[in-house]
Amino acid sequence: MKTTTATVSTNESGMTLLAIMIFLTAFAFILMMAAPAVYTDVQREKELESIRRGEEISNAIYQYVVFNAGRKLPQSMDDLLEGLPDGTKKRQILRPSAAKDPLSLDGRWRLIQPQPEVIARFAKRIQAFNNGVLPSSPPPNQYFDKYTVSLANVLNTETEDEPDEDIDDSADFDGVPFVGVASQSNARSVLMYYGIEKHSQWIFTPLFRGNGAMSIRPNRQPPTR
């Protein structure tokens, strides 16, 4: 009798263990199936936040340039964080949180200098996204047109099949006049910004703020690294 009872107990324990193993296997499979969707959702939120912060920096650069009547550009993120004189006080134009890029490992933005060869590719992508028209600079135009007027010849010499280039270690982070910022991340994006699907190619600048300015479209394919 005791032997029968022990056998039944052993069989029940074995069945319980088997059921647990089946449940854990099924649960692990569900997690594996859900992981790409979870990653995509998390990545999308990071990209949206990066775009928000980049656009805020773009607006801060605009205010800085207009305040200085186009005579100078900011040379560090601190120039924007310090704000602008407003009577006896300072007017904040950039939140500290926006000064950090959520897509970069160290949180630092690359500073984009006002050189035609530096921003020409971004300008051409905007031109293509905007049905062949390069949007005009924001008013007062005289403060910004000098940074874009020389782009026309550069854009005409760009080839359609020219390969995209990753950023290199010589990217500027401080001490240079800049008219925009970009991420250090070379990863493909979940979202598209101006139709661009690579973080490092998203340039946030007050230039080209005409028709077709801000546009985000979902990319249904998971990003590859």
The Cα-based distances of 35 to 190, 222, 225 in angstroms read 15, 11, 16
Cβ distance 202 to 54 under 8 Å?
Answer: yes
Instruction: Give the contacts of 223 (CB within 8 A, at least 6 positions apart).
Output: 40, 43, 187, 188, 189, 190
The closest alpha carbon to 184, from 103, 115, 122, 120, belongs to: 103
The pLDDT score that the predictor gives to residue 209 is: 65
- Tell me how far apart the alpha carbons of residues 116 and 138 are, in angstroms, rounded to a whole number: 18
Contact 98, 57 (CB under 8 A): yes
Residue 225: both structure tokens together:
């690294």
Average pLDDT over residues 38-55: 90
- pLDDT of 98 reads 96
Which pLDDT tens digit goes with each residue over 66-86? Answer: 999 999 999 999 999 999 999
| Longest CA–CA separation in the chain, Å | 100
Q: Quote the pLDDT of residue 184.
A: 94
Q: What's the whole-model pTM score?
A: 0.74
Question: For the chain, which residues make up each domain, given as ranges?
Answer: 2-218
The 10s digit of each residue's pLDDT in 180-216 is: 999 999 999 999 898 888 999 999 999 876 544 444 5
Model confidence at 37: pLDDT above 70: no
Taking CA 138 as the corner, what is the angle to CA 133 and CA 139, rounded to the nearest 5 degrees? 130
Q: How confident is the model at residue 220 (pLDDT cuts 50, 70, 90)?
A: very low
- The pLDDT assigned to 120 comes to 81
Percent of the chain, pLDDT > 70? 68
Q: Which residue intervals of the chain are DSSP H helices?
A: 2-67, 77-81, 116-129, 145-148, 151-157
What confidence category does residue 58 fall into, taking pLDDT thresholds of 50, 70 and 90? very high
190 or 149: whose pLDDT is higher?
Answer: 190
- The percent of residues above 90 in pLDDT, for the chain, comes to 38
